[in-house]
Structure 1
Amino acid sequence: MTATPPTPPIDGAALLAEVEAFHRRFNVFPTEAAYVAVALWDAHAHLLDCFDSTPRLAFLSPEPGSGKSRGLEIVETLVPQPMVAVNASAAALFRAVSASEGRPTILFDEIDTIFGPKAGDNEELRGFLNAGHRRTGVTYRCVGDGGNQTVQAFPSYTAVAVAGLGSLPDTILTRSVIIRMRRRARNEKVEPFRARIHEKEGHALRDRLAAWAEQARGFVMGAWPDMPEGVTDRPADVWEPLLAIADAAGGDWPDRARDACVKLVKASQADDKGSLGIRLLTDLRDHVMVGIDRLPTIAIVDRLNALDDAPWADLQGKPLDSRRLSRMLHDYVTADNEPIASRNIRTSGGVLKGYYSTDLHDAWQRYCPPPLVQPLQALQPLQPSSEAIPA
């Protein structure tokens, strides 16, 4: 009996380069880092069982016609068992993930119809997407009839890519590789995607990715890739599988992947508000209280509402006021573990309530991303009188 010859090794670096080139034919991504990240994400979907977590891939843009859906369409041809979901319920998704046919790769287009400003909270779907980020993630549901119901755990761990207008809930954003799409400029040309022709090419690449994944499984399983300096906590969870893929592929992919990691993490920190509270703290540090040790509440509110590209002048139809500012800052604490609260400030015009930078400094260090640039010029501080009024 003739032995089956071993499968020749596949050049992972060359294969990933082909995957990247396939994306480039049909999409103009905003940065070179985006091409690297998306190609690595395609490959990681074939090796989910090797990782403790799976990053979500998010194609987002402020306007239609920016290539989001096309990006998702190309991903669909390259990943295992794609499941295209538009307005799918959480129940349908977690049953699909736990089905005997195998774990799908969920591709969720028009995600803004689920989490956009005109949609409901959709906490069930949000919970499913958050739980499925971890390999241990499960969704608990009651099954059975009437009084015979029992609690059953449904596995939620699966790869998910989404596309939509605007943004996403903070808990999903922080678990995502974010690609901020934009409309093509007049001089940016792409090849029209024709499913009848190009799906076969994508599927051929998909099959080769699957074959390479089997060869790379031993290298990737249990790998602890070195993280770029400053990439820790949740961003490290997001990028660990992608860097492991890059290291397994070799060539220039380990260096390109780490460069892309740094650039996209920094971009997400600049764009991502983390929460409205973190956006408030960051704007206070970078724009309102630069070089100032104290400032009356009325001045803080005026300066926040005057900031361009900030949400404060229109919070659900109303500008930020002193009462809401107080409520938001009260959720954070000072270095002495006391809630941040306004204190008396004596000025030449009398005594006003306001906030001290020393009270905010600990929260700035703990929650805010590093400043992108140093401020060009500090605002002039108030000139307090020589007398002090205790808080």
Structure 2
Amino acid sequence: MNEPIDGAALLDEVEAFHRRFNVFPIESAYVAVALWDAHAHLLDCFDSTPRLAFLSPEPGSGKSRALEICETLVPHPMVAVNASAAALFRAVSGLEGRPTILFDEIDTVFGPRAGDNEELRGFLNAGHRRTGVTYRCVAEGDTQKVVPFPSYCAVAVAGLGSLPDTILTRSVIIRMRRRARNEKVEPFRARIHEADGHALRERLAQWADQHREQIAETWPEMPEEVTDRPADVWEPLLAVADAAGGEWPKRARAACVELVNAAKADDKGSTGIRLLTDLRDQVFNGIDRLPTVAVLDRLLALDEAPWADMGGKPLNARGLSKLLREYMTSDNTPVVARNIKTGGTVLKGYYAADLHDAWQRYCPPPPENPLLPLPPLPPWSQA
């Protein structure tokens, strides 16, 4: 029987190995990545597995190197660049052992110049949960049979820009940046350093085998402010930290709170939620009704908003109506433009009361220090 392995000391070594070759933007990132490496050896203990996303605005920020180091530490690594969904789900359902997928240059799949790639998005989303499967038709003689292919596997991605919201919400996000002149790392040489990583991988696997039953039967206590999807994302990592002991439970929870809050601050929400929030905070801003033309004027005047360039064209009345009809009023009817009497004429527009229920349900809390009001509307546009 193998000697018990000190989990805290082992995670310290995994973290130190990353620090030799990676510069992460914040200390919490080292904690999260080390825990993610370890959790990949324990997938069947959890209901879900978080995606690990190394993202940056510019090349040369260390994303691919971060994947390289993870590759030496995780079980059955499968490095993918521009791989198809079919190739990935067949690899996951193969007989060689569930791979850990390390997908580099993910921006070529989900970037602004790529197609929708709904199949790959669906695979990555389904594989987040242990029950996730991908259904495909498989020929059996002259007939087609629907076959479920398991999709559950650990996935780390690296790329420029961002990812679809459905993947981001299932991810631990590390916003990479280029090294400053005073930030030094060792050059990674696979022929020299892979052996060190593989030795750590073997010990992680042994430690996982020693604690598998314990981890499968426990539910880690989450930080009070971490709930819903972020709790699903972090639960496996906190379970690993608790089993390792030492300072790791404390460090893991601090990292969890910091990275979850960073993701919230970075999250602009879906297009619909962004629209609702801008309408509440910067368009109506205390006004009870506005004609559609005035609503659009104010939206298009927002410098850092997307409304002036929606697929190459500014948002128009039809696009605004299509977005808002997805939300309901307090009377459970769609939000639509209604008649507004303005100085002897009638214009179509929107009432704040119709939007209030959606503001309450979907928007983040209003800012503590509201923005200064926009310039007054022209007299013809006021009720």
Q: Scaled by the length of structure 2, what TM-score is found?
A: 0.92
Q: Does 1:173 align with 2:168?
A: yes
Q: Does 1:281 align with 2:276?
A: yes
Q: Deviations over 1:313-351 (max 9, x none)?
A: 211111112221111011111222111123344556965
- What's the CA shift for 1:363? 1.6
Distance between the aligned counterparts of 2:354 and 2:151, measured in 1? 42
Between 229-238 and 57-66, report the one with greater CA deviation: 229-238
Question: What amino acid is the match of 1:154?
Answer: F
Report the CA distance shift for 1:50/1:193 in structure 2 as closer, same or farther (over 3 A).
same
- Residues 242-253 of structure 1: pairs in structure 2 closer than 5 A: 242-253=237-248
Report the CA distance shift for 1:384/1:316 in structure 2 as closer, same or farther (over 3 A).
closer
Distance between the aligned counterparts of 2:318 and 2:4, measured in 1? 65
Equivalent pairs, count: 382
Q: Does 1:139 align with 2:134?
A: yes
- What's the CA shift for 1:188? 2.3
The residue number in structure 2 matching 1:309 is: 304
Q: Does 1:28 align with 2:19?
A: no
- What's the CA shift for 1:295? 3.4
The residue number in structure 1 matching 2:315 is: 320
Contact persistence 1:347–1:383 (CA under 8 A): no
Question: What amino acid is the match of 2:98?
Answer: R
Contact persistence 2:329–2:354 (CA under 8 A): yes
Contact persistence 2:78–2:101 (CA under 8 A): yes
- What's the CA shift for 1:356? 2.9
- 5+ residue gaps, structure 1, are 1-5
Q: CA RMSD in A?
A: 2.4
Distance between the aligned counterparts of 1:384 and 1:358, measured in 2? 22
The residue number in structure 1 matching 2:36 is: 41
Contact persistence 1:346–1:384 (CA under 8 A): no
- 5+ residue gaps, structure 2, are none
The DSSP-based 3-state class of the residue aligned with 1:144 is strand
Q: Deviations over 1:8-31 (max 9, x none)?
A: 322212221221222222222122
Contact persistence 2:282–2:371 (CA under 8 A): no
The residue number in structure 1 matching 2:70 is: 75
Q: Does 1:158 align with 2:153?
A: yes
Question: What amino acid is the match of 1:11?
Answer: D
Q: Does 1:99 align with 2:94?
A: yes
Distance between the aligned counterparts of 2:22 and 2:281, measured in 1? 35
- What's the CA shift for 1:239? 1.1
Question: What amino acid is the match of 1:290?
Answer: N
Distance between the aligned counterparts of 2:32 and 2:344, measured in 1? 56
Question: What amino acid is the match of 1:366?
Answer: R
- Residues 227-246 of structure 1: pairs in structure 2 closer than 5 A: 227-246=222-241
Q: Deviations over 1:57-80 (max 9, x none)?
A: 111112111111111111111100
- What's the CA shift for 1:306? 2.8
Q: Does 1:124 align with 2:145?
A: no
Q: Scaled by the length of structure 1, what TM-score is found?
A: 0.90
Contact persistence 1:291–1:380 (CA under 8 A): no
Q: Does 1:59 align with 2:54?
A: yes
Contact persistence 1:28–1:188 (CA under 8 A): yes
Distance between the aligned counterparts of 2:288 and 2:374, measured in 1? 11
Distance between the aligned counterparts of 1:97 and 1:125, measured in 2? 13
Report the CA distance shift for 1:106/1:344 in structure 2 as closer, same or farther (over 3 A).
same
Contact persistence 2:92–2:99 (CA under 8 A): yes
- What's the CA shift for 1:147? 2.2
The residue number in structure 2 matching 1:195 is: 190
